[in-house]
Amino acid sequence: MPLHPSKILIVDDDRDVLTTARMLLKHHYEGVKTSVHPSEALALMEQFHPDVVLLDMNFQRGENTGEEGLRALTNLLAKDPSLKVILLTAYGDINLAVEGMKAGAADFVVKPWSNEKLLATIQNALKLKAAEKNAEKYKAISTDITESGKLLEEELIGHSPAFKQVLATIKKVAPTDANVLLLGENGTGKDVMARYLHSLSTRNNQVFFRVDTGSLHEKLFESELFGHVKGAFTDAREDKPGKFELAEGGTLFLDEIGNLSPASQAKILTALQQKTITRLGSNKPIPIDFRLISATNQPLAQMVADGEFRQDLLFRINTIEITLPTLRERRDDVLLLASHFISHFAKKYRKGALQLSDVANKQLTDHHWPGNIRELMHTMERAVIMAEGSTINYFDLSPSKTTAADSPPETLNLQENELKLINEALKKHQGNVTRAARELGIDRLALYRRMEKYGIK
Ligand SMILES: Nc1ncnc2c1ncn2[C@@H]1O[C@H](COP(=O)(O)OP(=O)(O)OP(=O)(O)O)[C@@H](O)[C@H]1O
């Protein structure tokens, strides 16, 4: 079999890891080099020009915060922003991996890895690099594309019946390729569950591609999702594949689907019905093949009743509908999750073992948790940082304070203030009408009407 014309650099202080990885990779890739330290790896970048770096997260004996790995990641990417870095993380350190992904890593693999998984991850990273090269400045992808099969059940914390029921449903539907809609309040774990579903599916060796539909700018929507050809519009200097094409063969996760404008809903529906997309400026239909998972915190059925969401689109995406329980509906899991986050953050912030006092325990189980698991996680992070002894005595569970000034507006003219607020909201959300409307406390149609009234395009 001819070797793939790519170069891989492996950076790890464990020479056994380096030898094992090199032995495997040299049968697949044209260039493979190893390095025992990030500074040496940085120097190697100049002569070797790797396409992918496999990077360990800890380089000093006994060190497990991942700080060195994160620093190395930043330095490597500063040298070559097109580089794909795959983090090598310890089992159970999913939060560190997520932090790394946020800092620009393309993906991560958990040690000890299976050869098949490592090769699939490198292949995905190379595909991503090729797609980016093809489609200059196509940055957002790298944080949304992830290795397959990495979310293990042990990493999902919870033993309450409501949570176990969700896991059971996911296990049942994962291998079927049916379209799945995940519903649930903010922070209930929809993103995590979508990844878990993908990891149990028959497509788990292919990409998992997340698209935050709510954050797509209305004007760029089509080009982002369906791609464009050179010359399709003024800035289209190169052909660019859309996100639907990049999810080919794998799973496409459409997050925040309840935030789509009516026009965007129609475009997505057509693509899903026809199982093809056409890049902007082209008339050549391209077939698409992916498993679709969608998610929203909005009441889609109600939105259909109110004429805000298309019923035909809902029927297309919700073959199986799974509602994730709120944290208040799984109170049994609060302390379990709390102690999971405490150990994670104690490790991160180098604190010793920490315990919860009885008062703190009671506070946690009594709290309403409107922000669900995410709120609990942030609360634990704050508590660990602030803890002085070995006991966490009390939580500050007050909602975060806003800093809005109490000063009166410059004018009391209602229309002038309305226009100002609309412009501010649109600016804050980069023209995304759905989000701006939500911030203003009105529905999208009401905002469209006002924009028309004030001549805002
Ligand atoms: N069962 C779980 N065990 C451990 N951590 C979890 C679990 N479920 C969710 N989390 C953590 O809680 C946080 C919020 O989860 P996630 O982002 O999946 O929620 P979401 O429902 O997609 O939120 P949003 O609607 O705001 O996008 C994440 O940091 C995630 O890692």
Using DSSP bridges, classify how beta strands 276-278 and 285-287 pair: parallel, antiparallel or unpaired.
antiparallel
Q: Which are the contacts of 176, defined by CB distance < 8 A and separation ≥ 6?
A: none
Is there a common fold for 331-392 and 414-454? no
340: left (phi over 0), alpha (psi -120 to 50) or beta: alpha
CB of 156 shorter than 6 A to ligand 1: yes
Summarised one tens digit per residue, pLDDT across range 281-290 is 999 999 999 9
Least confident of 204-208, 242-246, 286-290, 296-300: 204-208
Which residue has a Cα nearest atom 31 of ligand 1? Answer: 192
Residue of 180, 340, 374, 378 to mutate, ligand 1, most atoms within 8 A of C-beta: 374
Give the per-residue pLDDT at 151.
67
For the entire predicted model, the pTM comes to: 0.63
pLDDT of residue 161: 95
| Residue 26 pLDDT class (50, 70, 90 cuts) | very high
* Position 278 pLDDT exceeds 50: yes
For a mutational test of ligand 1's pocket, the pick from 191, 198, 333, 342, i.e. the residue with the most ligand atoms closer than 8 A to its C-beta, is 191
258 lines ligand 1 (CB under 6 A): no
Contact, 142 vs 128, CB < 8 A? yes
Say if residue 195's pLDDT is above 70.
yes
CA of 189 to the centre of ligand 1 (A): 3
Would you identify the CATH topology of the domain 414-454?
Answer: Arc Repressor Mutant, subunit A (1.10.10)
Average pLDDT over residues 361-382: 91
Listing DSSP states for 105-166 in one string gives --EEEEESPPHHHHHHHHHHHHHHHHHHHHTTT-TTHHHHEE-TT---GGGS---SHHHHHH
CA–centroid distance, 196 to ligand 1, in Å, is: 12
Q: Region 112-116: what's the mean pLDDT?
A: 87
Q: Is the CB of 102 under 6 A from ligand 1?
A: no
The one-letter code for the residue type at 203 is R
Residue 189 near ligand 1, beta carbon < 6 Å? yes
pLDDT band per the 50, 70, 90 thresholds, residue 383: confident
Expressed in angstroms and rounded, the spacing between residue 148 Cα and the centre of ligand 1 is: 18
Give pLDDT, residue 61: 65
Q: DSSP 3-state assignment of 353? A: coil
| Digit-coded pLDDT (tens) for 42-65 | 999 989 999 999 999 887 766 667
Cβ atoms of residues 376 and 327 within 8 Å: yes
Domain ranges within the chain, ordered by starting residue: 4-137, 164-323, 331-392, 414-454
State pLDDT tens for residues 73-100.
999 999 998 899 999 987 667 777 778 8
In ligand 1, which atom is closest to the CA atom of 373? 12
Q: Does ligand 1 lie within 6 Å of residue 440's CB atom? A: no
Q: DSSP letter at 227?
A: E
- What's the 379 CA to ligand 1 centre distance in angstroms? 14
- Mean of pLDDT values over 178-192: 95
**Atom number in ligand 1 closest to CA 297:** 25
Q: How far is the CA of 322 from the centre of ligand 1 (A)?
A: 15
Average pLDDT for the chain:
85
Say if residue 317's pLDDT is above 70. Answer: yes
381 lines ligand 1 (CB under 6 A): no
Compute the distance between CA of residue 420 and CA of residue 424 in angstroms, rounded to an integer. 6
Helices (H), 306-357: 311-317, 334-348
Q: Which CATH architecture has domain 164-323?
A: 3-Layer(aba) Sandwich (3.40)
How many A from CA of 186 to the centre of ligand 1?
8
Compute φ and ψ for 146, nearest 5 degrees: -140, 160
Q: Would you place residue 136 in the very low, low, confident or very high pLDDT band (cuts 50, 70, 90)? A: very low
Instruction: Classify residue 199 as exposed, middle or buried by CB count within 10 Å of its CB (0-12, 13-18, 19+).
Output: buried
Quick one: pLDDT at residue 425? Answer: 86
Residue 144: the pLDDT is 45
Q: What is the Å distance from ligand 1's center to 259 Cα?
A: 19
**Confidence at residue 149, expressed as pLDDT on a 0 to 100 scale:** 39
Q: Which residues contact 345 (CB under 8 A, 6 or more apart)?
A: 351, 380, 381, 384, 385
Alpha helix (H) residue ranges in 26-114? 38-48, 67-79, 94-102
Residue 63 confidence (pLDDT): 65
Q: Which of 120-129, 276-285, 414-423: highest mean pLDDT?
A: 276-285
Cα of 23 to ligand 1 centre, how many Å? Answer: 37
User: What is the distance in A from the centroid of ligand 1 to the CA of 257?
Assistant: 17
Closest to 70 (Cα-Cα) out of 80, 58, 81: 58
188 lines ligand 1 (CB under 6 A): yes
> Is the Cβ atom of 167 under 6 angstroms away from ligand 1?
no
Structure tokens at 155: 């990493």
Q: What is the pLDDT of residue 142?
A: 36
Beta carbon of 186 within 6 Å of any ligand 1 atom? yes
In short, whether 191's Cβ falls inside 6 Å of ligand 1 is: yes
Question: Does ligand 1 lie within 6 Å of residue 322's CB atom?
Answer: no
Closest residue to atom 26 of ligand 1, CA basis: 186
**pLDDT of the residue at 402:** 34
- Domain 331-392 maps to which CATH number in 2.60.40.10, 1.10.8.60, 2.130.10.10, 1.10.10.10? 1.10.8.60
Q: What percentage of residues in the chain have a pLDDT greater than 70? A: 90
Task: Say if residue 67's pLDDT is above 90.
Answer: no
Q: In sequence order, what are the beta bridge partners of 180? A: 293, 320
Domain boundaries 4-137, corresponding CATH code = 3.40.50.2300
Cis amide leading into 112 (omega within 30): yes
